[in-house]
Structure 1
Amino acid sequence: MLNSIILTFTKVVTSIYLAYSQTSSLRNGYKLSLAIIFIVLLNISCADKINNPTEAKISTIGIGEDEITVVVVSGTSYEMGYQLGKALKDEIKSCMTGFIEYAQKGEKTSRYSADTPGRYDDATLDNAWLSVSPYLTERFIEEMNGLAEGSELPIELLKRAHMIPVVGDYACSGVSVWGKASNDGHLYQIRNLDFTMVAGLQDYPVIVVYLPDEGIAHASATFAGYIAAHTGINAKGIVLSEKGASPGSEYPFDLDGTHFSTLFRDLLYEANNLDEALNMIETTKLIKRYRLYVGDGKNESMGAAKILVSSPDSVKLTIWKDNDANDEVAPNIKENICYYTMENDITYNYLSDNYGSFDASKMIELSKLVATKSGNLENVVYDATNLEMWVSYAHGDEVASSRSYVHLDLKQYFNND
């Protein structure tokens, strides 16, 4: 539409020029006017591009109740946020507003506001944002701005929803196996998200594939409107998992630093290998307590590490790689394996019994074995070497571990970046 307007306008001006080209002063005036008009129309064209970024590409994987939306976004951080917001406008509104309403209403458990009055009220969530925002990258803020514009939701609402995990506490599981421990030498990694199912986040499952203008292509298995990452994989074969370790007894938490969920987005954007990821973690001021699991699936740099973040303590960071006699789970350690789950004894026995034969199906089985019987919201198994993932979301009252793990081959997206 805009191009046709420009073409029509140019034809009209050219006709006027031809009609009055006999007079030099008119010719000079025309040239000046045309130059001004060109600049104005160029700015309009640029503005139109900024305000109307390329649309997201939407597809689905899985069948029936196991269907998961896949959204592919590309461009600048703002454009990707805008595309995602526009593509899932209704889902984001329902998911994010429902998440806040649930947290503020409270549930009778130590994780939510029924036992800690005011923990999730607007003022607390706004203050949490003020605490962590100085440590956020400009690209994350720009993506949030784009998400708000595209979804037509108040940005304050989106910020508050993103702060619920920051002020909350939760538990999860993570396992990495590779090399001699797997049947094909690939690096496989588990991420179990044990988090409340009552908030209904499982009703809005989405895998977002990011193809940024700057940075590494990556994917995040998340919920509609949540753009921080609790897990993810990038095109360099870096995979990320997490296990919460902040007890409710330590609330209110010191939030002067970076939450793992935004750190994960930075790692997905920037880390080319395990060493780079660990360096980023070591040089970031982190908050709260949790275990991070970082895997690198590339043959030339393959490996994994488990990181204990304990910001309230004097020793704020501890890193274990495989077969480390100082590991917290020692002596139950093995070469080419890192783990800490909700069921460590079950995990170690399963790892021992299946050592050398791990593949996606065995990792899915392990994911099911260590999942909590209630509040198992989402599980992901990665093949970081072959850039594949298997994702399961809870459905209604049915936990994720009892659902199908739906396969997604990310090479089809990353290789076209």
Structure 2
Amino acid sequence: MFVNSVYFCFIIGLLILVQTSYSYDTDHLTNLGAFCSNDSSLGPPNLNPIDDSSAKLIRTIENGSLYTIGAGDDKVWLLHLWGYNGYDYGFAYGTLLKEQITQLIPRAWAHFEQRIIDELDKLKLPKWFEDMVVGKGLAFALDFQNTIVEKYIDKEIYEEMRGIADAANVNYYSIRRLHMLGEITRGRCSLFGLWGNATMGGKTLQLRALDWDTKGGLQDFPVITIYHPRSEKLGHAFANVAWAGYIGTLTGMSSTQMGISEIGIYFSDDTFGDESMSGLPFIFVERHILQYSETLDDALSFIANVKRTCHLVLAVADGKLGTARMIQYSHSLVNFFDDQNLQPLAEWHPRLPNAIYCGMDWLCPSRQYKLYKQILSQYGHITPESSIQNITSIAKTGDLHVALYDLTDMIMYVSNARGTNETGPLEAYQRQFVKIDLNIEFARTHAFFK
């Protein structure tokens, strides 16, 4: 105990020294990162109480149950699916959320189609793909993209999409196109993985802050889906945080105490490799990790060997091992980082013991430094609650949704952006969070099979 106390005091002293060494004016940071969408201003703390109310059952059908969790404007659909195959999952999904799916798809498609056309020159896409969008339309281009990647995608994913389409009576190709958009739009986001002396009680915590488009209406239909496989080919139970009809993974936790985070990288450097549109789309790389990886090593091995596509930063944390890794990710290159070799190593992105983190982009000095400063201010006693109150809100990250994972106790905290006709702040990081006890949710049994 004495040795641990001495070590902890040494770390705190080191961090105070680091904080003093890197305490410089924000104008310097803005000049350093003029190429990135820098914002050195700080937001207010999020003082909203966390909603820890129990889920409320709405409806049960074969292979599915629909609940709500949370209250008022911050209520979320909580969907439980059971199945022997992807079609079982999808048909139950489409049946229980038909109304939400049929509203979301045309609305989101219209918005993202126009946005992509308007910003085509900013999206880092191959010239041939840009020409295809301009000449043939976005729908044609995404269908062509699917022909390139379909050999890498698990057939059960397509079957799940077909099940949704059949049950909700929506066009299958519209659902499939929606899932191709992630490779194009990506999103600027933030993440961290913290463990050991960085956190209160040595818990393993992970942040996934999604700074994506809040004008597409996605936040009107937030869904947390809990998958319960009845066949080994579907892996193990996991939770996916998304929107009605969206089955790719951007945010989530698994029953094996693992979490995933992702950042789309626009401002890279020469340490990144090449990009390609041929490979497994990253939303299904992330889903595979949650659905099939038992350990951190499983996840890292899959990332190392999968056919990768675009420039990303990923993070995977494992509550069983009590650690996390950050991954520099491209088609031709992958690098794995822990707290000892974290990159980019710069005055605006220092290393911290028992921590990996990345704010908004790879080369984005003021946003990176702002996240670092907030982690440092809470270092040694960080909890999900303190992260919600004093890290994401003050660093202003997580416009569309924010998730905090307690991978030790299997608790997830989620907030969503303000929806249409709702009140309060727009950004998810300033809104009320809902607490989901995944010990309870993963253990739920279907009423038809008790």
- Cα offset, 1:405, TM superposition: 1.1
Q: How big is the shift at 1:416? A: 4.3
Kindly indicate whether the alpha-carbon contact (under 8 Å) linking 1:291 and 1:306 is maintained by their aligned counterparts in 2.
yes
- Structure 2 gaps of 5+ residues are 1-59, 125-129, 269-274, 361-366, 420-424, 446-450
What one-letter code is carried by the residue in structure 1 that aligns with 2:406?
Answer: D
Shift of 1:387: 1.0
Q: Distance in 2 between matches of 1:114 and 1:173?
A: 19
1:336 aligns with 2:354: yes
Show the counterpart of 1:285: 307
Query: Is residue 90–residue 161 contact of structure 2 (8 Å, CA) maintained in 1?
Result: yes
Q: How does 1:1-400 map to 2 (within 5 A)?
A: 54-76=62-84, 77-106=86-115, 110=119, 118=133, 121-213=138-230, 214=232, 215-246=235-266, 254-298=276-320, 301-311=321-331, 316-324=333-341, 327-329=343-345, 332-342=350-360, 343-364=367-388, 365-372=390-397, 376-396=399-419, 398-400=426-428
Cross-structure match for 2:12: none
Q: Which range moved further: 341-350 or 206-215?
A: 341-350
Alignment correspondent of 2:435: 407
Q: Structure 1 residues 91, 60: CA separation in 2 closer, same or farther (over 3 Å shift)?
A: same
Distance, in Å, in 2 between the alignment partners of 1:139 and 1:169 is 24
Distance apart, 1:351 and its partner CA: 2.1
User: In the TM superposition, what is the alpha-carbon distance from 1:258 to its structure 2 partner?
Assistant: 1.1
- How far does the alpha carbon of each residue in 1:316-348 deviate from its partner, in whole angstroms, 9 at most, with x for none? 111101222x52145611221000013211222
Contact 2:186 2:263 in 1 (8 A): no
Inter-partner Cα distance in structure 2 for 1:112 and 1:99: 21
Provide the rounded CA distance (Å) in 2 between the counterparts of 1:113 and 1:321: 31
**1:369, distance to aligned residue in structure 2 (A):** 2.6
In 2: Cα distance, 1:351 partner to 1:114 partner: 31
Contact in 2 for aligned 1:71/1:209 (Cα 8 Å): yes
Spell out, residue by residue over 1:198-251, the C-alpha distance to the aligned partner (whole angstroms, 9 max, x if none).
111000001000001221100011000000010110001000000001469xxx
Give the 3-state SS of the residue equivalent to 2:308 in structure 1.
coil
Q: Which consecutive unaligned segments of at least 5 residues does structure 1 have?
A: 1-51
> Structure 2: which amino acid aligns with 1:370?
A
Following superposition, the deviation at residue 88 of structure 1 comes to: 0.3
Q: Distance in 2 between matches of 1:74 and 1:143?
A: 12
- Normalising by structure 2, what TM-score? 0.74
| In structure 2, C-alpha distance between the alignment counterparts of 1:261 and 1:114, rounded to whole Å | 18
Give the percent of matched residue pairs that are identical in Structure 1 and Structure 2.
29
What is the TM-score when the length of structure 1 is the normalising length?
Answer: 0.80
Partners in 1 of 2:441 and 2:435 — Cα distance? 14
Mapped partners of 2:396, 2:328: distance in 1: 20
Paired residues of 1:61 and 1:67 also in contact (CA < 8 A): yes
Structure 2 Cα separation of the partners of residues 277 and 53 of structure 1: 33
Contact 1:193–1:378, Cα closer than 8 Å, also in 2: yes
Which residue identity lines up with residue 67 of structure 1 in the other structure? K
> 2: distance between equivalents of 1:293 and 1:113?
25
Measured against aligned partners, the alpha-carbon deviations of 1:275-310 in whole angstroms (never above 9, x if no partner) come to 111011111011010100100011xx2210000112
- TM-aligned CA distance change 1:318 to 1:73, over 3 Å: same
Give me the whole-angstrom Cα distance separating, in 2, the residues matched to 1:169 and 1:185: 32
The 3-state SS of whatever aligns with 1:106 is: helix
Kindly tell me the number of residue pairs found equivalent between the two proteins: 356
Decide whether aligned partners of structure 1 residues 329 and 363 sit closer, same or farther in structure 2, where only a CA change above 3 A counts: farther
Contact (CA 8 Å) 1:173, 1:370: kept in 2 or not?
Answer: no
For 1:256, what is the secondary structure of its paired residue? coil
Offset at 1:83? 0.5
CA offset digits 1:48-97 (Å, max 9, x no partner):
xxxx9824211111111001010000112211111011100111111122
Distance 1:172 1:154, change over 3 A: same
Q: Name the Cα RMSD after superposition.
A: 2.6
Please list the CA deviations of residues 119-178 of structure 1 after superposition, one character each: whole Å capped at 9, or x if unmatched: 761111111111211100122122122122221212111011111112224211001111
- Structure 1 residue matching 2:144: 3-state secondary structure: helix
Query: 1-side partners of 2:122 and 2:315: how far apart?
Result: 29
State how far apart, in whole Å, the 2-side matches of 1:241 and 1:114 are. 21
Letter in structure 2 aligned against 1:334: L
Work out whether residues 106 and 114 of structure 1, in 8 Å CA contact, stay in contact via their aligned partners in 2: no
3-state DSSP class of the match of 1:197? Answer: coil
1:379 and 1:393 in contact (8 A); partners too: yes
SS of the residue aligned with 1:91?
A: helix
Q: Which has the higher contact order (CA 8 A, sep 6+)?
A: 2
CA distance in structure 2 between the partners assigned to 1:180 and 1:112 by the alignment: 45
1:105 and 1:114, CA in 2 relative to 1: closer, same or farther beyond 3 A? farther
Gap change, CA 1:114 and 1:178, over 3 Å in 2: closer
Alpha carbons 1:61, 1:406 under 8 Å: kept = yes
Q: Residues 235 and 402 of structure 1: is their aligned pair in 2 closer, same or farther, counting only changes over 3 Å?
A: same
Distance 1:402 1:336 in 2: 27
Contact 1:103 1:113 in 2 (8 A): no
- Counterpart CA distance in 2 for 1:99 and 1:317 is 32
